[in-house]
């Protein structure tokens, strides 16, 4: 398997080189040269397969010979060694809970897979590897946990000051060691722009292996396919409608990639908050990014979603085909809060704000399509968001991992939206 740039001016590379570089020199995103097709009968066999076996089967064609099979299987085993339960909330809606990993967010899978791939690729490498990541909340915590203590790898995280929750911030800023956290005076898009600029900086690239741990990196992005297979493993009936809370669109892009491979899904819904670039695109066919706005569902506050180009690639930029498989809606903060209250009152289920956006989008779709049933991806534990307690009066049981965070000391460096500052810090890690 080789990977090409979506901008089509950089050379094709191997999985290893795509992971180590993070982003092509032409500032596109790496995309697999072919989409594997599942063996006949594979979907029918899902219930008989372990989660680690499914992960291995799904990811192996994308890795190719880059990692030996026995090593890759162990990587998969370590990556998915927690639960992914499908929970029935109502007679027509279930949630796939993706928050049972170490940082209570769906990003744990990609971060753990990528960290272990980098550990393998760096074992015979005398040069240090520096991982730079921009986060709107959950990515940074998952990356920090996934890479903490990994020998030969330094991690630099950029997050927008005052725009993440207390728990998210503690997950980002309390590890220390090989994890450095930059608290940016700006928004997520500013963080992402600085990270991309660093990845394209030839001076830095000439002195160190610099890569990204955002979903622009194929080792972060591709393992997110596993969720969808685990959902279908537990599903009974006709292919579901799947609603995905969407910010940078990596999660949705991986699901649609799995679908093209042969995973049966009736419809995808990209559930967005007030940052509605994609809903507007599907209405007008004009893609017009704009500065992000702050919402209750902060991890989805992205005004220029990087991974949407991969969705366009999956559908060969055919707008008609894309519209047939994808709907996208925008949900206001007021409606998000109302949904959280109603679901808790009627179903005794606690949604986080991101899951609530996905739930509302799915509920509205099912109201118009009474023959269908669906799944919402619940991407983060409610305890990570102070707003949950403010809206419904509880966050549920507090996990032990969160209790332990409260006594840790915050360690971060405040920086302006200034590339020179960020570059100096990155160079100091060499």
What pLDDT, in 10s, does the model give residues 102-119?
Answer: 999 999 999 999 999 988
User: β-strands 93-97, 374-378: how paired?
Assistant: parallel
- Which of 83-92, 260-269, 293-302, 353-362 bottoms out in mean pLDDT, i.e. has the lowest? 293-302
The SS3 call for residue 174 is coil
Please say if the pLDDT value at position 126 is more than 80.
no
pLDDT at residue number 211: 86
Give the CA-trace dihedral at 112, 422, 179, 160, to 10 degrees. -70
Please, are residues 224 and 250 in contact by the beta-carbon 8 Å criterion?
yes
pLDDT at residue number 350: 97
- Residue among 301, 356, 257 at smallest CA distance from 36: 257
pLDDT at residue number 406: 82
If you average pLDDT over residues 21-38, what whole number do you get? 93
Counts for the chain of helices (H) and strands (E), in that order: 19, 14
Name the percent of the chain lying above pLDDT 90: 74
pLDDT at residue number 318: 95
Q: What is the DSSP string of 325-385?
A: HEEEEE--HHHHHHHHHHHHHHH-----HHHHHHHHHHHHHHHH-TT--EEEEE-B-GGG-
How far apart CA 402 and CA 103 sit, in angstroms, is 9
Q: What is the DSSP string of 397-427?
A: SPPHHHHHHTTSPP--EEE-S-HHHHHHHHH
If you average pLDDT over residues 21-46, what whole number do you get? 93
Please, are residues 154 and 181 in contact by the beta-carbon 8 Å criterion?
no
Please say if the pLDDT value at position 430 is more than 80.
no
pLDDT digits (tens, 9 = 90+) for 220-254: 999 999 999 999 999 999 999 999 999 999 999 99
Q: Which tokens sit at 54?
A: 């499914």
Please say if the pLDDT value at position 123 is more than 80.
no
pTM to 2 decimals?
0.90
If you average pLDDT over residues 391-415, what whole number do you get? 89
pLDDT digits (tens, 9 = 90+) for 277-316: 999 999 999 999 998 898 999 889 999 899 999 999 999 9
Secondary structure element (H or E) that encloses residue 95, with its range: strand 93-97
Instruction: Give how far Cα 349 sits from Cα of 128, 261, 297, 301, 355, Å.
Output: 45, 33, 18, 24, 11
Q: What are phi and psi of 244, to 5 degrees?
A: -120, 115
pLDDT at residue number 56: 98
pLDDT at residue number 108: 93
Please, are residues 57 and 222 in contact by the beta-carbon 8 Å criterion?
no
Q: Measured in whole angstroms, how far is the alpha carbon of residue 175 from the centre of its chain?
A: 21
The SS3 call for residue 211 is strand
pLDDT at residue number 212: 82
Please say if the pLDDT value at position 140 is more than 90.
no
pLDDT at residue number 113: 95
Mean confidence (pLDDT) of the chain: 93
Secondary structure element (H or E) that encloses residue 52, with its range: helix 51-63
pLDDT at residue number 146: 86
pLDDT band at 215 (very low <50, low <70, confident <90, very high): confident
- Residue among 57, 17, 36, 407 at smallest CA distance from 229: 57
Please say if the pLDDT value at position 160 is more than 90.
yes
Q: Which residue has the tokens 């809370």?
A: 245
Describe the crossing of helices 51-63 and 69-79 by its angle, rounded to 10 degrees. 130
How far apart CA 132 and CA 205 sit, in angstroms, is 12
User: β-strands 86-88, 209-212: how paired?
Assistant: unpaired
Please say if the pLDDT value at position 55 is more than 90.
yes
Q: Identify which has the larger pLDDT, 255 or 130.
A: 255
The SS3 call for residue 302 is coil
If you average pLDDT over residues 17-41, what whole number do you get? 93
If you average pLDDT over residues 35-61, what whole number do you get? 96
Active site residues: 107
Query: Residues of 373-386 as b/e, b for ≥16 C-beta within 10 angstroms?
Result: bbbbbbbbbbbbbe
pLDDT at residue number 79: 96
How far apart CA 102 and CA 45 sit, in angstroms, is 29
Q: Identify which has the larger pLDDT, 164 or 270.
A: 270
Please, are residues 344 and 350 in contact by the beta-carbon 8 Å criterion?
yes
The SS3 call for residue 209 is strand
Residue 329 CB coordination number (10 Å): 19
Please say if the pLDDT value at position 159 is more than 90.
yes
pLDDT at residue number 137: 74
pLDDT at residue number 191: 93
pLDDT at residue number 397: 87
The SS3 call for residue 212 is strand
Q: Which residue has the tokens 């728990």?
A: 167
CATH code of the domain occupying 83-430: 3.40.50.1100
Q: Measured in whole angstroms, how far is the alpha carbon of residue 278 from the centre of its chain?
A: 17
């Amino acid at each position: 398997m080789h990977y090409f740039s979506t901008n089509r001016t950089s050379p094709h590379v191997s999985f290893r080189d795509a992971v180590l570089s993070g982003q092509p020199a032409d500032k596109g995103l790496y995309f697999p040269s072919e989409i594997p097709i599942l063996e006949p009968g594979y979907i029918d066999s899902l219930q008989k397969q372990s989660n680690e076996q499914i992960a291995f089967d799904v990811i192996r064609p994308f890795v190719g010979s880059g990692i030996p099979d026995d090593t890759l299987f162990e990587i998969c085993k370590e990556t998915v060694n927690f639960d992914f339960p499908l929970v029935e909330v109502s007679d027509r809606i279930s949630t796939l809970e993706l928050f049972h990993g170490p940082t209570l967010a769906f990003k744990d899978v990609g971060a753990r897979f990528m960290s272990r791939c980098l550990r393998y690729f760096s074992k015979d490498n005398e040069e240090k590897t520096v991982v730079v990541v921009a986060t709107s909340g959950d990515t940074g915590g998952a990356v920090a946990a996934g890479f903490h203590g990994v020998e030969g790898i330094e991690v630099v995280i950029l997050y927008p000051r005052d725009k993440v929750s207390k728990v998210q911030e503690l997950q980002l800023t309390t590890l220390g060691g090989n994890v450095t956290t930059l608290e940016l005076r700006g928004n997520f898009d500013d963080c992402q722009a600085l990270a991309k600029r660093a990845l394209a900086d030839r001076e830095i690239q000439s002195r160190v292996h610099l890569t990204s741990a955002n979903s622009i990196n194929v080792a972060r992005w591709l393992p997110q396919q596993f969720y969808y297979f685990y959902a279908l493993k537990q599903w009974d009936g006709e292919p579901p409608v799947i609603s995905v809370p969407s910010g940078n669109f990596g999660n949705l892009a991986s699901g649609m990639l799995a679908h093209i491979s042969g995973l049966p899904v009736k419809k995808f819904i990209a559930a967005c908050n007030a940052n509605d670039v994609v809903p507007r695109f599907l209405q007008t066919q004009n893609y017009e990014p704009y500065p992000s706005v702050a919402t209750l569902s902060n991890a989805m506050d992205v005004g220029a979603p990087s991974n949407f180009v991969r969705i366009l690639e999956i559908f060969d930029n055919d707008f008609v085909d894309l519209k047939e498989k994808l709907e996208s809606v925008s949900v206001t903060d007021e409606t998000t809060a109302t949904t959280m209250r109603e679901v808790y009152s009627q179903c005794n289920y606690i949604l986080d704000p991101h899951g609530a956006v996905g739930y509302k989008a799915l509920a509205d779709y099912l109201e118009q399509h009474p023959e269908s049933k669906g799944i919402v991806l619940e991407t983060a534990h409610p305890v990570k968001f102070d707003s949950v307690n403010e809206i419904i009066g509880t966050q549920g049981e507090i996990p032990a991992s969160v209790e332990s965070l409260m006594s840790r000391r915050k360690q971060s460096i405040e920086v302006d939206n200034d590339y020179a500052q960020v570059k100096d810090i990155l160079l100091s890690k060499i």
